[in-house]
Amino acid sequence: MTAYDELIAFTRETEALAQVQGRLGWDQETVMPRGAATQRGDEMAALEGVLHARRTDPRVADWLAAASDGGDPVRAAMLRHITRSHARNTKVPASLASELARVTSVAQGVWAGARAADDTAAFLPVLSQVVALRQQEAACLAGEGTLYDALMDDYEPEASASKTAAMFDRMRPRLVALRDAVLGAPTPPALTGSFAAEGQMALARLLATTFGYDFTRGRLDLAVHPFSSGSGADVRITTRVAADDPFNCLYSTIHEVGHACYEQNIDPDFALTPLGQGVSMGVHESQSRIYENQLGRSRAFSGWLFGQMQAQFGGLSVGDADALYAAINRVTPGYIRTESDEVQYNLHIMMRFDLERALVGGDLAVADLEGAWNDRFAADFGVVVDRPSNGVLQDVHWSVGLFGYFPTYTLGNVYAGCLHQTLRGDLPDLDAQLAQGDLQAATGWLRDRVQRPGGLHSPADTVAAACGFAPSEGPLLDYLEAKFRALYRL
C-alpha cells in the first residue's frame, strides 16, 4: 500500500466512526429512552475519545508528508481536506478540546433551563466559560488572522468575517427598505384550523418524495427540533407537528429534505471520505433554503400544494392557491429567528453576527450581552424585547460554542439566490413543472450542479461552478424584492 492508500484507508475508518457518532445523535433525539441520557453521555464521550485520537494520530502527518496526489484532482482534494482537518485538530491541545466538550455539554443544559425560566443571569456564567474556551481554541488556530475568522473557518472554509460584514452592509439597506414597505401594507390572512398529525405526516412524506428524498436510504421521524443527520446511504430527517400550524411540519420537512438530498446525492465514490459530505454549512443551507423557499414557497408550487392540502384536510380557511401563497409568505413582526420570513430572516442573522464577533473579539463582555442584544433588536426591528426567551436566550448556538456559525445561514440564502437565478434561466418551464408538483428537473439540476461533487471544490467554487458566476448578494435581493413587491402589491 502507498502512503496515500494507507491514509485513505485510515480516514475511511475514521469517517465510518463519525457516521456512527451521527447515528447515536439521531437516536438520542428520536428514540432513546429518557432514562438512558447519562449512560449515553459516557458512550458518546468514549466514541469522541476514539475519534479525537484518530484525528490527531501522528501517523496521519507521516502519511500526508509521504503521499502524492499524482496530479489527480480527487486525490488532491482528499489530501487538502485531510491536511486541513489534521492541522486544526493537532493545533488544539487535547485538554482544551476535552474541556470544551465538557463545558458545552453542561452549558446546553443550563441554557435550556435558563430559557425555560426566562433567567438570563442563570446562563451568563457558563456562557462566559464557553466564550473563553472558544477564544483559547481560536488563538490556537488563528495564525495571522482574527479569532473570529478562525472559528468561522470551521463552518465555512475560506470565508472571512470582513468580507461577510461588507456583504451584509450592502444587503441591509435593501432588506430594511423591503421589510418596512411590506410591514406597511395590509397583512394577508394566516391559515387557521386544526390539522390532524397523521395527515400532516402523510403530506410531509409526500413532499419528501416529491422533492427527491430517497426513503430507501433514509427515514422521517418526529423530533423536538427538525434536523437531517448522516451521509451517504443513511441520511435521516426529522420534523415536528403542531396541530394549528401545518406549515411548521411541511416546510421543516422540505428544508431538511434539502439538506438530506445534498448528502444522499454526493458521488457514491466519495462515501466515507472527507469528500463524501456537504462542503460547508453555507452550501448546505443553500440547498435547504432553495428547496424550502425559492421552490417550496413559490407561487407555482403553492397551486399544487393547495390541492394536496385540500385533499388531505378538506376545506381550508384560505380559499384558493393565491391565498395559500400569501399565507405561506406572510411577513409579520416577531422576535424569533426560526419563525421569521424570507425578508426579515437575514436581519436576525446580521445582528447575531455583529454581537458574536464583538464577544469573540473581546469588544463585548458577556455581562453586557443581553443589553446589547435588546438595544440592537430595538434598533433593527423597532420592537422592545419582552423577555429573554424572545431575545438573547432564544437560540441554542452560543451555549454549545457555535460562534461563527450564524453567518452561514445568510451565506446559504445568498448562494440559494445565485443558484435560483441560474436555475430559472436553465429551466424555462420550471413554473409549469412546479404547478404540477414536478420537482424532478429542478432537484436534478441541483443534484448534478451542486450536490454531486460533495467536497471536491471549495464552497465558493462549488456555487460559482454551478451558477457560472462568482456568488454575490444581488440575485437574492432581486428575487426577494420581486417576490414580495408583487405579493404585497407595492
Which residues are part of the catalytic machinery?
256
Distance CA 319, CA 325 (A): 11
Of 3, 6, 25, 43, which one interacts with a copy of itself (CB under 8 A)? 43
Distance CA 86, CA 65 (A): 12
Q: Is 255 annotated as a binding residue?
A: yes
**What number of CA atoms fall less than 13 Å from residue 123's CA on the CB side?**
30
Judge whether 353 and 164 are in contact, CB under 8 Å. yes
CB of 238 to a copy of itself, least distance (A): 12
Judge whether 310 and 186 are in contact, CB under 8 Å. no
**Contact string 256-285 vs a copy of itself (x = CB under 8 A):** ---------------xx-------------
Which parts of 212-317 are beta strand (E)? 220-222, 228-229, 236-239
Site membership for a copy of itself, residue 34 (CB under 8 A): yes
**DSSP codes of every residue in 149-162:** HHHHHHHSTT--HH
Q: Which is nearer to a copy of itself, 13 or 62 (by Cβ)?
A: 13
Number of neighbours of residue 468 by Cβ within 10 angstroms: 12
Of 96, 165, 233, 435, which one interacts with a copy of itself (CB under 8 A)? 233
CB of 301 to a copy of itself, least distance (A): 27
Site membership for a copy of itself, residue 19 (CB under 8 A): yes
Q: H or E stretch including 269?
A: none
Of 1, 35, 70, 384, which one interacts with a copy of itself (CB under 8 A)? 35
Site membership for a copy of itself, residue 99 (CB under 8 A): no
Beta bridge mates, 237: 220, 228
CB of 354 to a copy of itself, least distance (A): 41
Of 3, 25, 27, 397, which one interacts with a copy of itself (CB under 8 A)? 27
Distances (CA, A) of 308 to 298, 420, 432: 15, 25, 17
Helix/strand number for the chain, H first, E second: 20, 3
CB of 270 to a copy of itself, least distance (A): 12
Site membership for a copy of itself, residue 232 (CB under 8 A): yes
Judge whether 14 and 54 are in contact, CB under 8 Å. yes
**Contact string 191-230 vs a copy of itself (x = CB under 8 A):** -----------------------xxxxxx-----------
**What number of CA atoms fall less than 13 Å from residue 376's CA on the CB side?**
19
Q: Which is nearer to a copy of itself, 232 or 475 (by Cβ)?
A: 232
Distances (CA, A) of 259 to 14, 15, 269: 22, 19, 19
Site membership for a copy of itself, residue 39 (CB under 8 A): yes
For residue 237, what is its C-alpha cell? 430527517
Site for a copy of itself in 311-370 (CB under 8 A): none
The annotated binding site for Zn(2+) is made up of 255, 259, 285
The annotated binding site is made up of 255, 259, 285
| Residues found near a copy of itself in the complex (CB under 8 A) | 12-14, 16-17, 19-20, 23-24, 27, 31-40, 42-43, 45-47, 49-50, 214-219, 232-234, 236, 271-272
